[in-house]
Structures are given as C-alpha cells and as structure tokens.
C-alpha cells in the first residue's frame, strides 16, 4: 500500500502532531518503540497507574509488570511478584507485592494518603 493511502485515515492535524512527536523523539535520540511503550503505560485503564512512579535514577516514567509467573520468560527469582522498569534508562525495581498491591500503593502515594 502507498504511504498516502495508509495515512489517509488520519486528519491533517493528527499528522502534524505525529510529525511534532517524531521531531521531539529525534532531537532526544529516542525511538518510536520507546514512545509507544510510554503511551501504552499511560493509556492503560486497567492499571490506572498513570505516571504514578518515576525512576529514581532518571525520573522517567516506569512500567509495571508481573514476574515469576508460570511462564518462565519472566523468571527473576528472589520471591518477587512484580517489577517496575524505567522506560528511560531501564533501571529495575523488584517487589514482593503483586501488581495490584503496587498499583494501590502508587495510588495512595499519588493521593498523598499513605
């Protein structure tokens, strides 16, 4: 399919925004994949974390996922149940809380009601 046919689904305004995003990414030497991960984190209604946790190393948002599930691809040992990973520098924070407990904790911190 030709590029104009593919992009015909978007308005001129959306494409201008897209161009702005690409320019900002290029200026900061970041990839579309990294941007997409970030968008996925902040638009995930189920988790509702929305930037609740930022990396202590570089202050980028962090994504949260389950580890040590029966699927061995997520095996990290240590009795951990979840892991925060920085979208900026890859810094990891492991937790023995479940994802839901981490989300609840992050929400309480965000609301200032520890």
Shortest reach from residue 94's CB to Zn ion, in Å: 15
Counting contacts by CB under 5 A, is residue 58 touching Zn ion? yes
Choose the stretch contacting Zn ion; rule: CB under 5 A; options: 15-23, 43-51, 59-67, 72-80: 59-67
Kindly identify the residues of this chain, within the stretch 81-100, that bind Zn ion according to CB under 5 A.
86, 88-89, 91
CB-based contact 98:82 (threshold 8 Å): yes
How many angstroms separate the CA atoms of 17 and 49, rounded? 25
Phi, psi of 28 (to 5 degrees): -100, 10
Nearer to Zn ion, 59 or 101 (CB): 59
Binding of Zn ion at residue 51 (CB under 5 A)?
Answer: no
- Name the β-bridge partners of 40: none
Angle at CA 108, nearest 5°, toward 103 and 90? 45
Binding site for Zn ion (CB under 5 A): 55, 57-58, 60, 86, 88-89, 91
């Amino acid at each position: 399919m030709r590029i104009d046919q593919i992009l015909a689904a978007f308005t001129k305004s959306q494409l201008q925004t897209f161009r702005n995003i690409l320019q900002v990414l290029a200026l900061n030497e970041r990839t579309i994949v990294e941007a997409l991960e970030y968008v996925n984190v902040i638009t995930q209604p189920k988790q509702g974390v929305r930037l609740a946790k930022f990396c202590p190393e570089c202050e980028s948002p962090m994504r949260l996922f389950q580890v040590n599930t029966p699927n061995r691809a997520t095996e990290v040992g240590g009795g951990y149940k979840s892991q925060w990973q920085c979208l900026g520098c890859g810094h990891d924070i492991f937790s023995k809380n479940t994802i839901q407990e981490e989300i609840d904790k992050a929400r309480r911190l965000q609301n200032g009601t520890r």
